[in-house]
Amino acid sequence: MHVTGWIGLILGVVMISAAKIGGPPPVVLDLGPLQATPAPTPQRAEKKRLITTITVQNTIEGETLLSFEASDVADEGHGKTHPIATKRYSLAEEKPELKEAREKIMHQVRELEREMLKFVEIAGPPKERLPLEPGQQPGGTRPYR
C-alpha cells in the first residue's frame, strides 16, 4: 500500500470511531441567571478630603481670580492612597450663601500674600530681565541680570 492508502485507512477508522462515540448530546441542567462572583473584600480605608491645588491670579489693576481643587481620597495606611473624587471650585461663584465664606477666604489669602512677599524679600527678589535690544520683540527669551 502506498502512503495515500494508509492515510485513507487511518481516516476511515477515525471517522467510524467518532460516529460511535458521538451519540446523543450531553444532558444540560439549566441553573438560572448567573450570579457574578463577588469582588474581593476591599482593603479597609479612611475617606479623607483635602485641598490639592490653589490657584491665585492677580493683576496689577487689582483683579483677583482664585480657584482651588478639593479631592476625596481613600487612605489605606502605610502611605497607600487612591483618589475617589475631585472637583474644582472658584471664588467667582455668585451664590449668596457663599458670600461670607468667599470674603473670609479672600481676607486670609491677602494675609498669606503679605507673608509670601516677606518671604520673597528674605529669600531674594525675582531677577530682572535685561532690557530689550533694538528690534527685539517683547515676550521672547532674554537673559536675566
pLDDT of residue 72: 93
pLDDT of residue 19: 56
Cβ atoms of residues 88 and 67 within 8 Å: yes
In a domain, 22, yes or no: no
In a domain, 97, yes or no: yes
Cell 475617606 sits at which residue? 47
In a domain, 130, yes or no: no
In sequence order, what E strands does 22-118 have? Answer: 46-58, 64-77, 80-90
Q: For residues 41 and 115, what is the distance between their CA atoms, to the nearest angstrom? A: 48
Per the model's pLDDT, the better-predicted residue between 28 and 66 turns out to be: 66
pLDDT of residue 135: 74
pLDDT of residue 24: 75
pLDDT of residue 48: 93
Range(s) of the domain holding residue 106:
46-123
18, pLDDT greater than 60: no
Count of structural domains, the chain:
1
Q: What is the mean predicted confidence (pLDDT) over 2-7?
A: 70
Beta-sheet strand order (sheet of 46-58): 46-58, 64-77, 80-90
pLDDT of residue 89: 96
Q: How many helices (H) and strands (E) does the chain have?
A: 2, 3
What is the pTM assigned to this prediction? 0.59
Q: For residues 135 and 145, what is the distance between their CA atoms, to the nearest angstrom? A: 20
User: Across the chain, what does the average pLDDT equal?
Assistant: 84
pLDDT of residue 103: 95
Q: Give the single-character DSSP code of 129.
A: B
In a domain, 110, yes or no: yes
pLDDT in tens, 69-119: 999 999 988 888 889 999 999 999 889 999 999 999 999 999 999 999 999
pLDDT of residue 44: 84
In a domain, 98, yes or no: yes
In a domain, 93, yes or no: yes
In a domain, 100, yes or no: yes
Report percent pLDDT > 90 for the chain.
Answer: 46
In a domain, 83, yes or no: yes
